[in-house]
Amino acid sequence: MASHGRSVTGRPAGPPALDFDVVVVGAGMSGLYALKVLREQGLRVVVVEKAPGVGGTWYWNRYPGARCDVPSLEYSFGFDPDLEQEWVWTEHFASQPEIERYLNHIADRYDLRRDIRLNTAVCSATFDEASDSWAVETEAGDRLRARFCIMATGGLSAPNRPPFPGIDRFGGTVVQTSLWPEQGVELEGRRIGIIGTGSSGVQSIPELARVAAHLTVFQRTPTFTWPSHNKLLTAGEQAAVKKRYREIRREQARSPSGTAGTTGALSFQVPIDDREILASTPEEREAVLGEFGFSACRVWVDTARDLEANEMAVELFREMVRRTVKDPELAEALSPRGYPLGCKRPVIDAGYFDTFNRDNVSLVDLREDGIEEITSTGIRTAQGHVELDVIVLATGFDAMTGALTRMDIRGRDGRLLRDDWADRPRTYLGVSMAGYPNLFVSVGPGSPSVLASYPTQIELQLGWIAALLRHAFEKGFTFVEADAAYQDAWCDHVDAVAEGTMFTAPSCNSWYNGQNVEGKPRVFLPYAGGLTVYMERCNAAAGNGYEGFSIR
């Protein structure tokens, strides 16, 4: 289906010749889907990928316990009913190896590999105004010229590695969860220290505790985490979903989070009714605790916008921690305090709090004082020195903007994206930036991104980008750029829909709002209006002749 040899440059003659119609950066979910859909449109596409394998997030995050928090039957593409039927998921929530296999299967099944260059890191992308094209440069010194560039670089792909003093002199092994080596890490019988108790920490802590001689958890912020109750999928459960997959996909596309919630196993979610915790009696709260356990705090409708109600719900969570963790001091140290429920992304776990009842697990609470230094043999805090063989950094990501600002992306007039975004990222519809013609971003800031299930969102969002490119090529347009005024209005809208939610509460510091990375501006990054409304806005712009874009 590819149109090799066809000149689709939109300009009949004139240097420089373009190597491709589209260069896609990243071979994760977005990049694979972009290649498939754009190739089907007859475009010459190349995908460049830093890693030695495809899969993006699901290539890099191979730490013990890595698992998706969206049910596997929904965390999958819906573009091909045959693929849906033939792929067999083994668990309600798929583990990293299974999702990595799935994405490799997609690369093979649709013959994508011939247009993917692995081990190819991109260092810069520069727009050439004379030819309306992008030159994408790799670290190896190659230069790929294309009319359009799509950054399929992911929302959680730029590892955050805090500059702990002395880390380079540690004599043992330092490993980051998001850069876990393919060949694995020797963990058996080792003294392991882990820094970070976000999702990556919470998932790996029970697994590390099982094999370590001793595991020390260095915790700066206690986490809200809910048991996933993950289990094997039975053939019957799987068949029932596969029978009504079309309907489920439609429900996913119509859901703010891209999930249908019909495949079961979303057991950490609870039915939210009109009950208000502020109006509840202690007996009612106890009954809800008995019924829903850790999820009891999520039942009440008034916790989403009222901080007093929220704090009462948090107390129910703390009560569950006390009932689970035997040592009262430890339970107190593991109890979230000082920030509201709903501020950070929900974490789901498999035996996280129970792990702290093991004899070989201890906690260093960093709330009072942080890590002083890493020595050649361990980690020193004001509370003492812990001797270690392995240090695991589960310290998260420079989320949503890091992958883009770490590259030199130069638009019109030599402007640098990193500078333009110094005080906040600015996009139009989360996909495009004024000053950067012919450049598109998948799951970028100002799009639902991390707030909606990726495969569903990617099919919709990249489908929208692909339609815009089809329009451009069919009409012979060589230039597509978001207008600054529309971009400003979109940023205002993104801010407005997050306003008043727990995401933007003054006490909320999270990777959603850049507060996990030193010096990052405090801006709520994803679009909180939901996938449905988001796509309505994108489709309305398209229906209006791509309103908000200058196209010529």
The residue ranges that bind ligand NA7 (CB under 6 A) are 156, 162, 195-201, 220-221, 345, 366, 370-371, 394-397, 511, 516
CB of 69 to ligand NA7, least distance (A): 7
CB of 300 to ligand NA7, least distance (A): 23
Query: Which distant-in-sequence residues (6+ apart) come within 8 Å of 186 by Cβ?
Result: 173, 390
**Alpha-carbon torsion, ordered 316, 511, 263, 463, to 10 deg:** 160
Residue with tokens 């994206």: 417
Nearer to ligand NA7, 208 or 394 (CB): 394
Nearer to ligand NA7, 184 or 370 (CB): 370
Question: Do residues 101 and 52 lie in contact, with contact meaning Cβ atoms separated by under 8 Å?
Answer: no
HSE-CB for 21 with a 13 A CA cutoff: 27
Task: Convert 127-154 to b/e letters by CB count within 10 Å (16 or more is b).
Answer: beeebbbbbbbbeeeeebbbbbbbbbbb
The closest of 348, 342, 321, 95 to 229, measured between CA atoms, is 348
CB of 514 to ligand NA7, least distance (A): 11
CB of 22 to ligand NA7, least distance (A): 28
Distance CA(287)–CA(280), nearest Å, equals 11
DSSP string, 103-141: HHHHHHHTT-GGGEE-S--EEEEEEETTTTEEEEEETTS
Query: Which distant-in-sequence residues (6+ apart) come within 8 Å of 1 by Cβ?
Result: 39, 40, 42
Distance CA(262)–CA(246), nearest Å, equals 13
Nearer to ligand NA7, 116 or 343 (CB): 343
CB of 348 to ligand NA7, least distance (A): 10
Distance CA(503)–CA(533), nearest Å, equals 18
CB of 354 to ligand NA7, least distance (A): 19
Question: Do residues 509 and 412 lie in contact, with contact meaning Cβ atoms separated by under 8 Å?
Answer: no
Residue with tokens 């890490």: 185
Nearer to ligand NA7, 122 or 379 (CB): 379
The residue whose Cβ lies closest to ligand NA7 is 198
Tokens representing 115?
């247009």
Chain mean position to CA 332 = 30
**Residue 196 φ/ψ region, left for φ over 0, alpha for ψ in the -120 to 50 degree band, beta for the rest:** left
CB of 153 to ligand NA7, least distance (A): 15
CB of 204 to ligand NA7, least distance (A): 9
Distance CA(426)–CA(492), nearest Å, equals 10
CB of 386 to ligand NA7, least distance (A): 14
CB of 127 to ligand NA7, least distance (A): 31
Distance CA(543)–CA(20), nearest Å, equals 28
Phi, psi (degrees; rounded to nearest 5) at 340: -80, 155
The closest of 17, 363, 342, 208 to 5, measured between CA atoms, is 17
Q: Other C-beta atoms within 10 Å of 547: how many?
A: 11
Nearer to ligand NA7, 56 or 548 (CB): 56
CB of 220 to ligand NA7, least distance (A): 4
Query: Which distant-in-sequence residues (6+ apart) come within 8 Å of 192 by Cβ?
Result: 208, 212, 214, 215, 216, 388, 389, 390, 391, 392
DSSP string, 337-402: -SS-TTSSPPEEESSHHHHTTSTTEEEEE-SSS-EEEE-SSEEEETTEEEE-SEEEE---B-TTTH
Distance CA(451)–CA(69), nearest Å, equals 12
Nearer to ligand NA7, 15 or 163 (CB): 163
